[in-house]
Chain A
Amino acid sequence: MKNLTPLAEIPVPRPQPERVYATRLFDREFSFHGLKRLLGAADYGKAGDRNANLAATSETQREAARQILSGLTLEHLYDHPLSDDEGRVDAVMRVNYDLDLDALASVAKMTLGQFKDHLLRSPALEVKRLGPALSGVMAAAVAKLCDVHELILVAGKITRTSHARTLLGSPGTLSSRLQPNHPTDDLRGITLLCYAGLSLGAGDALIGVNPAVDSVENVSAILRHLDLLRRQTGVPTQICVLAHVKTQLACLARGAPVEILFQSLAGTEKTNLEEFDISVDLLDEGYRTMAERGPLAGVARQFMYFETGQGSEFTYNKHNGIDMTTAEALCYGLARRYDPFMVNNVTGFIGPETHLDSFEMVLANLQDHFMGKLLGLPMGMAPCYTLHSNISLEGQQIATGLLAAAGANYYMDVCLNTDRMLAYFDTSGHDVQTLRETYGRLPAPEFLEWALSRQIFARDADGQVVRGPSWGDPRMFCRCEAEFQELRSATPALPGFETAGPRPADQLQREMRMNQAIGREAIHAELRAGQLEQIAPLRIVETEACSRQVHLNSPDLGARLSPASRDRLSPERNQVQILISDGLSAEAVHHNLPDLLPVLLDGLKGRQLSVGQPLLARYGRAKLAEAVADRLAADVVIHLIGERPGGDALSSRSLSAYLVYRLWDPQVQSAAARFSGHPAIRFEYTVISNIYSAGLPPLEAGSVIVERVCEILSRQAAGNRLEALARPSH
């Protein structure tokens, strides 16, 4: 077990007043107030940094920033720790200073430009030696000076292996984490997706499920099931359920097989504490617990697993003025403290507010991989996207090709690229095998032996490993056809298993791509107010998002009423107000409202509730309901809003109903504050989702919403507090 340096014993220079970094180029003056602004401006322009006003406004300004940065020494960066908004060195920054000071001394006087050249000139061992000498800020600064070839070349020199039941990251290998996520954690669906992945030769890094429900009972049940599958198939790998670290430790305490401990990390303490509910102390406790009592203690060299990705700090507006790349590198400095088995980067997951298009996503991934490897981490990559960004499958594939060239340890296996729980698009087992064949890579050695024995792989006449007769056939793990069919009946978005070489057969690709195309179309469709007004009289309001592009790229604007609309509304003090907005699918509104709204209006009237004339808002986000509730002084706002489309064409018509309860009564607010632990809580939410023809039909949804609103008003509670009051056994 690695000794964890107590935080108080990590020496960190005192933060200094911000200085101005300036230069003159071609008769133009460029200046940057503080190191954070300099680092932000030196990066490739990315949406998150632009939205945070940290990105350069021109290419020349960016190059000016780079020129200044290139001339700063590593020692300068060491002497100027980045502080938080209160001027303190936060815990994440402090951990980043837990360095090999002797190694740092050997290069401290180098400028960043010289240091980059040193990395390019040096052999692999020297590059590897310098990792522990660098803080996240230093790694980020170098990354900002590198072009694509350099990001690939330097990262490619560095081998970072890790070992549990399988050895990951050794030269010539490319592994994968199997991610058999299911929208309801149905063990049948999870089983089939595991079988499908294993049959593709995926899962040698880990079989890891993101649970839909983060409870000790549910996570323990999934862990036990994965353990059963591992034993039944005999596959040499490790298992994990990616719940919160507290949940996993509780599972471990109850005897569940928590083989690898997972946690998402952010690059600022504020994000970690307030959004992820983790601290360095908690992670320390998790690490020590796993080292002493984890099922793989004494077997595995490492047992921690972290997920990171550019932009989470910005999304929560807790970035302390630090750009996305630097914040990401600070995550790695924190992850390094625990000598992890895996670090998985999911840059691209959030959406266009952080990474607008394929180009931004590809560059960010190359930077992340470079920084992680440089700092000493066994980096796995998951270049991914959501449909409301401008990132395409082709962009993702370009990223995987470049990252494979750079030596990424592993990719994800999300069956046919479509995550059925998280509604995003990641790499697949087919992608992993394609890259193995393209770049001459093999799975982890222990896994390869098993896969050869199951004829997933075979050796050809020359002894080369090739796809075997069972490759791609998940039926090989089923006792009979009936079992296979039973598993399949519980697994959504799975049109088939046919393959063409290492790729999915064209018919499957066409279906999956059409689903994505329809989803994107729904996102970019506009509300047709005239049609909707024929269902019932509506009042039109606007948000601060003035266009669809602004709406997609700046989610906070869609949560606010425009000044003109705000002025037009005044307190009406109705019990219920209906608000309709497009959210991320105007099609969802148009397909559901004709059936839903008449039932909803009939029901609210039938239950004798006072109801304001419904509002219709273009470019709305879920929290727009709060602004409306405040302005109209409504008790409950029913916000009917289009959901973010995923990988199923029909579900791109899926609507959600957010029932937003305004806690205006001081007694009710006190009860809600006590229940939630948030003293300033102002609203409680009950959400009814999946309203569409193949989910909760809109007619029925209208009735369900009425019943739930009556329940909220009679019990004066919504969300989890309502559930606790109304259904205590649940």
Chain B
Amino acid sequence: MPTEVNLVGFDIGTTTTSAIVASAQLAHNSVTGRTEITSVNERYRSEMIFTPRRDDGLDVDALGSYLDDCLAAGRVGPEEIFGGGALLTGLAAQGAAAQAVVRLVKSRLRDALVATADDPCLESWLAFMGSSAALSRAHPNSPLVNLDIGGGTTNLALGVAGQVLRTGCLFVGARHVQVEPGSYRIAKLSRYARALFEHLGIPRRIGHALTAGEVDAVLDFYMNLLEAELEGAAQPTDDPLIQQHRQVAFQLPGDVSDPIVTVSGGVGELVYAHLRGQPWPAVTRYGDLGIDLARRLVASPKWAGHFRKFVPASAGRATVYGLLRYNTEVSGSTLFLPRAESLPLADVPVLGTIAPESPAAHVDYLLGFARRSPRGGAFRIELRGRDGDLIRDLGRRMAGCLAAQAFPAEHPLVLLVSENLGKVLGNYVTDWGAAALNLVVIDEIDVPNAEYVQIGRLRNQVVPVAFYGLREESPAV
């Protein structure tokens, strides 16, 4: 029988903040053989509010109250949360108060939930999953790029058949140039906008009004940058302005051309609302260039047809929905967990990859990292395509290394496996229970290239797992 669980998502962005609280079911999928989160039923969806600010930074107290109000409205206590996450995105993640907000969320929601800031690849992944994953699955043979355009950043993600393959992030957004609503009189400029103005020769400061030509020049730069990223067109990598606007470079693989393009985020929502027949909002109604950027996207000869033909499930709240629905993975049901009371495990660093071919010295070296790490350590175990003898040998080799270095019995050690092999690996590593280890082997999860993993409490034979600190490049092992 499916089990009901609670999920939450908080997206604290440059411009806006939103939250969703939902109930869902943990159910076995007989096609995949895995336990999945299904039947997500939104219990509370907050109004999208302007991200509270104080003294040019985030208002931590106001965000705390907002978080409490959302949980109360969703009728869920911190102990009852199974998964989801909280993410500070865009420029909000870069201010001095960002880490204070992260600490606040962790203290409110306990260790089971990922709370992180300035994690652009995670944000791109979440936005893709929250907006266009279903669309991508429906067109499994066509690559799809989602542009999640918010106030401060554009998070790019390439996916095929619902799986994200590449991510990137540009400092392209609606709110680098803030204006007085109803006019183009400048109210505030981000450092990226100031550099851009200088590059374009726009001699405007706060209080000055931008001309139509100057607005167009800014938008041209943004559109060119976006198009170039998607076309893989050679951009001068030594151009300091381009470098400054590129937080994480996005590169289409050589065999991908002409992908389907979707947009999400606040600007994406404006695009699809207009295409559904809604009139454009009044000029600079939101005090930024978001509406103008949306108009340019709709007029784009390259992408306008895509926007009309391929409409994602959710545009405006892609990130928060992605957090709620996709940030938490569910382990396999035959995970190795002899000490269920050791959960949850928070902020466990992912220290490297071990494979059956890894020599004992290398395995010993990596396990030594975990022994020295105050929060223990996690390792990706690469078993794909390996036969049973190799896998059993690996387990025995790891058991030998752990015994040799007298790995502390209470120190958390987490092994992450994509295949359904958690129990067998755990049993060989612990020599069938003879070795006293605080070992957890999580199986049947897609292990991304991430810096940290978070593991929640056991529920219905499975545990929730979330990663953060996503990286594009392979880690040095």
Contacts and interface: CB of A to CB of B under 8 A. Distances in A.
Interface in B397-439: 419-424, 426-428, 431-434
Interface string A680-723: 00000000001000111111101110110000000000000000
Contact of B135 (A218, A482, A690, A694): A482
Interface of B is mostly: mixed
A237 B425 CA distance: 51
B371 to A, nearest CB: 24
Contact of B33 (A481, A694, A703): A694
A695 B432 CA distance: 23
A215 B1 contact: yes
B134 A595 contact: no
**Most B C-beta atoms less than 10 A away, residue of A482, A598, A695, A704:** A482
A598 B392 contact: yes
B30 interface: yes
Interface string B370-407: 00000000000000000111011000000000000000
Given A490-B30, A603-B427, A606-B427, A704 B1 contact: no
B471 interface: no
Interface in A564-600: 594-595, 598-599
Contact of B423 (A217, A218, A595, A704): A704
A182 B29 CA distance: 10
A707 B423 contact: yes
A188 B422 CA distance: 28
A304 B190 CA distance: 73
Nearest to A595: B388
B67 interface: no
Interface string A175-206: 00000001110111100000000000000000
A213 interface: yes
A237 B272 CA distance: 39
Given A700-B423, A707-B423, A599 B31 contact: no
Nearest to A605: B432
A217 B135 contact: no
A714 to B, nearest CB: 12
Nearest to B138: A481
B27 interface: yes
Nearest to B388: A595
Nearest to A694: B33
**Most A C-beta atoms less than 10 A away, residue of B28, B387, B388:** B388
Given A184-B28, A606-B427, A697 B419 contact: yes
Contacts of A183: 30
A665 B391 CA distance: 39
Contacts of B39: 187
Contacts of A606: 427, 431-434
B99 interface: no
A485 B138 contact: yes
A643 to B, nearest CB: 15
Contacts of B30: 182-184, 186, 189, 420, 490, 492
A489 interface: yes
Interface string B294-338: 000000000000000000010000000000000000000010000
A186 B392 contact: no
A187 B1 CA distance: 11
Contacts of B106: none
Nearest to B443: A700
A511 to B, nearest CB: 16
A607 interface: yes
A151 B387 CA distance: 59
B38 interface: yes
A442 to B, nearest CB: 35
Contact of B388 (A184, A489, A599): A599
A481 B334 contact: no
B137 A703 contact: no
Contacts of A490: 29-31, 38
B432 A602 contact: yes
Interface string A475-489: 000001110111001
B38 A603 contact: no
Nearest to B428: A602
A645 to B, nearest CB: 16
A491 B38 CA distance: 14
Contact of B424 (A186, A189, A491, A700): A700
Nearest to A494: B31
B313 A480 contact: yes
A697 B433 contact: no
Contacts of A218: 1
B419 A492 contact: no
Nearest to B434: A606
Interface string A220-232: 0100000000000
A700 B134 contact: no
B137 A485 contact: yes
A690 B334 CA distance: 14
Nearest to A597: B388
A482 B134 contact: yes
A700 B423 CA distance: 6
A491 B30 CA distance: 7
A599 B422 contact: no
Contacts of B391: 699
Nearest to B387: A595
Nearest to A607: B432
Nearest to B29: A490
B34 to A, nearest CB: 11
A695 B30 CA distance: 9
A213 B1 contact: yes
Nearest to A604: B432
Contact of A703 (B423, B431, B434): B423
A348 to B, nearest CB: 25
Interface string B1-39: 100000000000000000000000001111111000011
Nearest to B311: A480
A706 B423 CA distance: 10
A659 to B, nearest CB: 16
Given A186-B27, A606-B431, A699 B388 contact: yes
A703 B29 contact: no
A508 to B, nearest CB: 17
Interface string A153-191: 000000000000000000000000000001110111100
A599 B392 CA distance: 8
A703 B31 contact: no
Interface in B26-64: 27-33, 38-39
A481 B28 contact: no
Contacts of A491: 31
A40 to B, nearest CB: 42
A603 B388 CA distance: 14
B187 to A, nearest CB: 39
B29 A599 contact: no
A206 B4 CA distance: 30
Given A186-B29, A485-B138, A704 B433 contact: no
Nearest to A217: B1
A182 B434 CA distance: 41
Contacts of A699: 388, 391, 421, 424
Interface in A607-652: 607
A595 B32 CA distance: 21
**Most B C-beta atoms less than 10 A away, residue of A598, A606, A699:** A699
A489 B313 contact: no
Interface of A: 182-184, 186-189, 213, 215, 217-218, 221, 420, 480-482, 484-486, 489-492, 594-595, 598-599, 602-603, 606-607, 690, 694-700, 702-704, 706-707
21 contacts: A182-B30, A186-B27, A186-B30, A213-B1, A420-B30, A480-B313, A481-B135, A481-B138, A485-B134, A489-B31, A598-B388, A598-B392, A603-B432, A606-B432, A606-B433, A695-B33, A699-B421, A700-B421, A700-B422, A700-B443, A704-B423
Q: Which 6 A-B pairs have the closest CB atoms?
A: A606-B432, A482-B134, A703-B423, A703-B424, A595-B388, A481-B138
Given A486-B134, A602-B428, A706-B427, 4 more contacts: A186-B28, A481-B134, A491-B31, A703-B423
